[in-house]
Amino acid sequence: MKRIKKKKWLIGIIALVFVAVIIWNVVVMSGASVAMPVSVATVSGGDLVQQMDFSGTVMTEQTKVYFAPVAGEVATVEVTPGDPVKSGDVLMTYDLEALEEISKETKLQAKAEGYGIDATMQTIQKSQSDYAKAVKDYDEAMQYVNHYSACLESASREYNQALAVRTEYETLKAEVDQYKIQQAENEEPNPELENLIVQGEARLNELSGQMAQYDYAALEGAVATCSNDLNEYKALAQQYKAEKIENPALASQSAQQSVLREINNMSKEKADDDLETAREGVKADFNGVITSVDAVAGQTVASGMQLFILENTDDLKVSINVNKYDLEQLKVGQKAEITINGAVYEGIVTKINGMAQTNAKGAATVTADIHIDNPDGNIYLGIEAKVKIQSDAVENALLVPVECVNYDTKGAFCYVVENGVIIRRDVEAGISSDMQIQIIKGLEAGEQVITQVTGDLNEGMEVTPMPQE
């Protein structure tokens, strides 16, 4: 609409200039003195919106690659590239008969292997039981060894004490008897010998009393019994120690068999799970378009093989290329108006790529994504879209047509008509649209500004203003 309006203005300006030239020629030829007519626009107030125009391509915001969930033969492929699908639509089915046979074979094999695992586990468990009993027996034998060691030590200590008393008694008695013989052989009594005899007999009486407290036979028997029991349990402890020595591979074998049993059980469970998954087939997770198909009916697919690519049509964007001039004004979050096949949609700038790319003309551009807020079924992936993005806006601004502002080495300026005379007025321009430009400084509302500046116009020239329609 704005381009049509601009064309009307240009046509109107051309017509006015044409009429003005005719009048000017008529006046000149008649010899009359008259001011040159010029087309002018009046400085007015209003709101102005500055926008950027782009052309882009409709793309999806979400792409999903489908892989084979289980290995098996493909029964049917329900889609081709370009097919629209709804969430839940079946894309591919498996040959269930073949998978059921595989599941049966897997279970039978797992069952057979399970028998061997169970037999091995029983052997290992018996070995572990024997080992545990040997450990227990060894621990009990060592308790008895410790007990009879203490018993032998106590009995031996008491028996040795009794033997020491008896030995001292026998030794001292022999000495006293010798003293008595010597005394009897002397012609005169020897006081020294007599004293030794008296002291010795007194000590012998003490030792005799101590010996009476000991049962030598019982003590000797206790030592013998403790010694025999100790030796017996030492032998048993050695035997149990040898029995409890674990086979170094026993624990490892047990762990391996436990793992094998777990794997065996998992194999049976996986066979059931795979069959159940195959019954479901491969289904679309969302509304979209199939853009790639690798699955073929009758083909045996491996688990994880790529099957399809699905692009979401409910979550769309427009990808645009932005030059360095527009990039300064583009911001994430800006509102956008998107036109696709004549229909208008709302959008918002969601992403500006941080790296520039060189286009076919050698110019550096940056891609940006415009999310479509309200997509419908009339939008096709890959189609061209026109995008208008509001970069700036002002309210109650002073506005003039864009052709009123001229530029030279001194900057921006306008030709204003004051009292029928052209006056140059330096101005400060703001934002602009296709039709109008904001004047920040240099003009006032209601002033008349020449819209079409030609080489025939000079400052100070008398002119007749002709307002635009």
- Please check whether residues 116 and 255 belong to one and the same domain: yes
Instruction: Please report whether residue 271 resides in a domain.
Output: no
- Same structural domain, 325 and 345: yes
Please check whether residue 275 lies inside any domain of the structure. no
Could you give the CA distance from residue 72 to residue 305 in angstroms, rounded to a whole number? 11
Q: Which residue, 239, 225, 217, is CA-closest to 148?
A: 225
406-409-411-412 Cα dihedral, nearest 10 degrees: 0
- What whole-number distance in Å separates Cα of residue 42 and Cα of residue 28? 28
How far apart CA 390 and CA 337 sit, in angstroms, is 9
Look at residue 270 and tell me whether its pLDDT is greater than 70: yes
Judge if 343 and 363 occupy the same domain: yes
Task: Check pLDDT > 60 for residue 2.
Answer: no
Residues in Cβ contact with 159 at an 8 Å cutoff, skipping those fewer than 6 apart:
216, 219, 220, 222, 223
Residue 291 sits in the same domain as residue 337: no
Same-domain check for residues 256 and 290: no
pLDDT for 140: 83
Work out the average pLDDT over 433-459.
Answer: 89
Same domain, 438 and 348: yes
Does residue 116 sit within a domain?
A: yes
Q: What is the mean pLDDT of residues 408-419?
A: 93
Domain residue limits at 231: 100-261
Residue at 124 is within a domain: yes
- Of 297, 312, 327, which marks where a domain is finished? 312
| Structure confidence at residue 161 (pLDDT) | 87
Are 209 and 331 in the same domain?
A: no
Instruction: Return the pLDDT at 347.
Output: 95
Q: Can you give 281-327 as a three-state secondary structure string?
A: CEECCCCEEEEEECCCCCCEECCCCEEEEEEECCCEEEEEEECHHHH
- The CB-based long-range contact list for 394-397 (8 Å cut-off, 24+ gap) reads 394/47, 394/48, 394/430, 394/431, 394/438, 395/47, 396/45, 396/46, 396/47, 397/45, 397/46, 397/47, 397/48, 397/430, 397/438, 397/439
Question: What percent of the chain clears pLDDT 70, i.e. is strictly above it?
Answer: 81
* pLDDT value of position 315: 94
For residues 85-107, average pLDDT: 85
The stretch 168-173 carries a mean pLDDT of: 87
Q: What is the pTM of this model?
A: 0.52
Domain check: are 129 and 228 in the same one? Answer: yes
Residues 398 and 460 in one domain: yes
Which pLDDT band holds residue 434 (cuts at 50, 70, 90)?
A: confident
Q: So what's the pLDDT on residue 262? A: 59
Q: What is the mean pLDDT of the chain?
A: 83
Domain at 53, CATH number: 2.40.30.170
- Please indicate, yes or no, if residue 274 is contained in any of the structural domains: no
Which tokens go with 129? 């039981």
Structure tokens at 331: 């911001």
The larger pLDDT score, comparing residue 17 to residue 292, is at: 292
* Mean pLDDT in residue range 418-429: 94
Pair (380, 409) in one structural domain: yes
Confidence of residue 159 (pLDDT cuts 50, 70, 90): confident
Q: Is 115 among the domain residues?
A: yes
One-letter identity of residue 373: D
Supply the CATH number for residue 166's domain: 1.10.287
For residue 70, give the CATH number of its domain.
2.40.50.100
CA neighbor of 468 nearest in space, from 23, 83, 38, 170: 38
* Continuous segment of H or E residues that includes residue 358: strand 357-358
Instruction: Flag whether pLDDT at 96 surpasses 50.
Output: yes
**Residue 53 domain-assigned?**
yes
**What's the pLDDT tens digit per position in 302-314?**
999 999 999 999 9
Q: What is the pLDDT of residue 207?
A: 86
- Which pLDDT score, from 0 to 100, does residue 135 have? 76
Number of structural domains (the chain) is 3
pLDDT of 88 > 90? The answer is yes
Q: 18 lies in a domain?
A: yes
Shared domain check, 306 and 250: no
Reported as a single tens digit per residue, the pLDDT across 355-400 is 888 888 888 899 999 999 999 989 999 999 999 998 888 999 999 9
What is the Cα–Cα distance from 432 to 330, expressed in whole angstroms?
Answer: 16
Looking at the fold, whether 17 and 53 belong to one and the same domain comes out as: yes
